[in-house]
Chain A
Amino acid sequence: MSRNHGSSTRRLLEAARYHGFGIAAALLFLAPLVWSVLVSFKPSIEARQPPLPPWPVGGFSVQSYENLAQYGSGIWTYAGNSLAVSAATVAASVLVSLLAGYGFSRFQFPLKNVLFVLIISTVMIPFQSILTPLFLILTKLGLQNTLTGIVLVYVTLQLPFSTFMMRNAFDAVPREIEDAARVDGASVFAVLYRIMLPLVLPGVATVAIFAFLASWNEFLAALILLTDQKKYTLPVLMAAVRSGQFGTIDWGAVQSGVTLMMAPCLALFLLLQRYYIRGLTAGAVK
Chain B
Amino acid sequence: MMGAAQEKAKIELRDVCKTFGSVDVIHSLDLTIEGGEFVVFVGPSGCGKSTLLRMIAGLEDVSSGDIFIAGRDVTDLDPSKRGIAMVFQSYALYPHMSVRQNLAFGLEMAKTPADEIARQVNAAAEILKIGPLLDRRPGQLSGGQRQRVAIGRAIVRKPLAFLFDEPLSNLDAELRVSMRIEISRLHRELGNTMIYVTHDQTEAMTLADRIVVLRDGRIEQVGTPRQVYEDPNNLFVAGFIGSPRMNIVDAVCLAGDRIGVADAVIPLPRPGPAAAPGEAVKLGIRPEHLRLGAPKESALRAHVDFSEYLGSTRYLYCNLQSGESITVEQRDGTDFLSGEEVWLNCDAECLRVFSPSGERLRTGRPERTATA
Instruction: Name A residues whose Cβ lies closer than 8 Å to a Cβ of B.
Output: 174, 176-177, 179-187, 190, 194-195, 198-199
Extra contacts, 11 of them, besides A177-B92, A181-B94, A183-B59 (Cβ < 8 A), are A176-B89, A177-B93, A179-B59, A180-B88, A183-B82, A183-B84, A183-B85, A183-B86, A184-B80, A185-B109, A187-B80
Q: Which residues of B contact A180 (CB under 8 A)?
A: 86, 88, 92-94, 153
Q: Would A198 and B96 be within 8 Å (CB), given that A184-B106, A185-B80, A185-B110 are in contact?
A: yes
Task: Say if the beta carbon of B57 comes within 8 Å of chain A.
Answer: yes
| 8 Å CB interface, B82-140 against A | 82, 84-86, 88-90, 92-96, 105-106, 109-110
Determine whether the beta carbon of B78 is less than 8 Å from that of A182.
yes
The residue on B at minimum CB distance from A186 is: B109
Determine whether the beta carbon of A185 is less than 8 Å from that of B92.
no
Q: Which residues of A contact B106 (CB under 8 A)?
A: 184-185
Determine whether the beta carbon of A183 is less than 8 Å from that of B57.
yes
Q: Would A183 and B79 be within 8 Å (CB), given that A176-B90, A190-B109, A194-B105 are in contact?
A: yes
B111 to chain A, nearest CB (A): 9
B76 to chain A, nearest CB (A): 15
Q: Which residues of A contact B82 (CB under 8 A)?
A: 183
Question: Which DSSP category, helix, strand, loop or mixed, fits chain A's interface?
Answer: helix
The residue on A at minimum CB distance from B86 is: A183
Q: Which residues of B contact A176 (CB under 8 A)?
A: 88-90, 92
Task: Say if the beta carbon of B157 comes within 8 Å of chain A.
Answer: yes
Q: Which residues of B contact A190 (CB under 8 A)?
A: 109
Determine whether the beta carbon of A184 is less than 8 Å from that of B157.
yes
A70 to chain B, nearest CB (A): 49
B72 to chain A, nearest CB (A): 16
Q: Which residues of B contact A182 (CB under 8 A)?
A: 58-59, 78-80
Number of CB contacts from chain A to chain B under 8 A: 64
Q: Which residues of A contact B54 (CB under 8 A)?
A: 179
Question: Which of the residues A177, A183, A199 comes within 8 Å of B80, measured between beta carbons?
Answer: A183
Whole-angstrom distance between the alpha carbons of A204 and B59 in the complex? 27
* 26 residue pairs bridging A and B, Cβ less than 8 Å apart: A174-B92, A176-B89, A176-B90, A176-B92, A177-B93, A177-B94, A179-B59, A179-B79, A179-B88, A180-B86, A181-B94, A181-B105, A182-B79, A183-B57, A183-B59, A183-B79, A183-B85, A184-B85, A184-B106, A185-B1, A185-B80, A185-B157, A186-B105, A190-B109, A194-B105, A199-B95
Whole-angstrom distance between the alpha carbons of A174 and B54 in the complex? 16
Determine whether the beta carbon of A174 is less than 8 Å from that of B90.
yes
A47 to chain B, nearest CB (A): 50
B95 to chain A, nearest CB (A): 7
Whole-angstrom distance between the alpha carbons of A261 and B90 in the complex? 47
Q: Which residues of B contact A184 (CB under 8 A)?
A: 80, 85, 105-106, 109, 153, 157
Q: Which residues of A contact B78 (CB under 8 A)?
A: 182, 187
Give the total of B residues in contact with A, Cβ under 8 Å: 27
| 8 Å CB interface, B155-169 against A | 157
A113 to chain B, nearest CB (A): 15
Q: Which residues of A contact B85 (CB under 8 A)?
A: 183-184
Q: Quick one: which of A180, A183, A194, A199 has the most chain B CB within 10 A? A: A183
Q: Would A199 and B92 be within 8 Å (CB), given that A183-B79, A183-B84, A183-B86 are in contact?
A: no
Q: Which residues of B contact A186 (CB under 8 A)?
A: 80, 105, 109
The residue on B at minimum CB distance from A197 is: B96
Top-5 shortest CB links A-B: A185-B109, A184-B106, A176-B92, A180-B92, A198-B96
Q: Quick one: which of B57, B89, B92, B110 has the most chain A CB within 10 A? A: B92
Q: Which residues of A contact B92 (CB under 8 A)?
A: 174, 176-177, 179-180
Question: Which of the residues A174, A183, A185, A199 comes within 8 Å of B96, measured between beta carbons?
Answer: A199
Whole-angstrom distance between the alpha carbons of A184 and B90 in the complex? 16
Whole-angstrom distance between the alpha carbons of A190 and B157 in the complex? 17
B50 to chain A, nearest CB (A): 11
Whole-angstrom distance between the alpha carbons of A199 and B97 in the complex? 10
Whole-angstrom distance between the alpha carbons of A202 and B109 in the complex? 25
A178 to chain B, nearest CB (A): 8
The residue on A at minimum CB distance from B80 is: A185
| 8 Å CB interface, B41-96 against A | 54, 57-59, 78-82, 84-86, 88-90, 92-96
Determine whether the beta carbon of B86 is less than 8 Å from that of A179.
yes
Whole-angstrom distance between the alpha carbons of A190 and B109 in the complex? 8
Question: Which of the residues A185, A187, A195 comes within 8 Å of B94, measured between beta carbons?
Answer: A195
Whole-angstrom distance between the alpha carbons of A179 and B89 in the complex? 12
A98 to chain B, nearest CB (A): 16
Whole-angstrom distance between the alpha carbons of A185 and B153 in the complex? 12
B162 to chain A, nearest CB (A): 11
Whole-angstrom distance between the alpha carbons of A190 and B105 in the complex? 11
The residue on B at minimum CB distance from A184 is: B106
The residue on B at minimum CB distance from A191 is: B80
A283 to chain B, nearest CB (A): 15
Whole-angstrom distance between the alpha carbons of A199 and B138 in the complex? 14
Whole-angstrom distance between the alpha carbons of A182 and B106 in the complex? 9
The residue on A at minimum CB distance from B111 is: A185
Whole-angstrom distance between the alpha carbons of A36 and B61 in the complex? 62
Whole-angstrom distance between the alpha carbons of A198 and B96 in the complex? 7
The residue on A at minimum CB distance from B105 is: A184
Whole-angstrom distance between the alpha carbons of A194 and B94 in the complex? 10
The residue on A at minimum CB distance from B110 is: A185
A186 to chain B, nearest CB (A): 5
A108 to chain B, nearest CB (A): 10
Whole-angstrom distance between the alpha carbons of A194 and B95 in the complex? 12
The residue on A at minimum CB distance from B159 is: A183
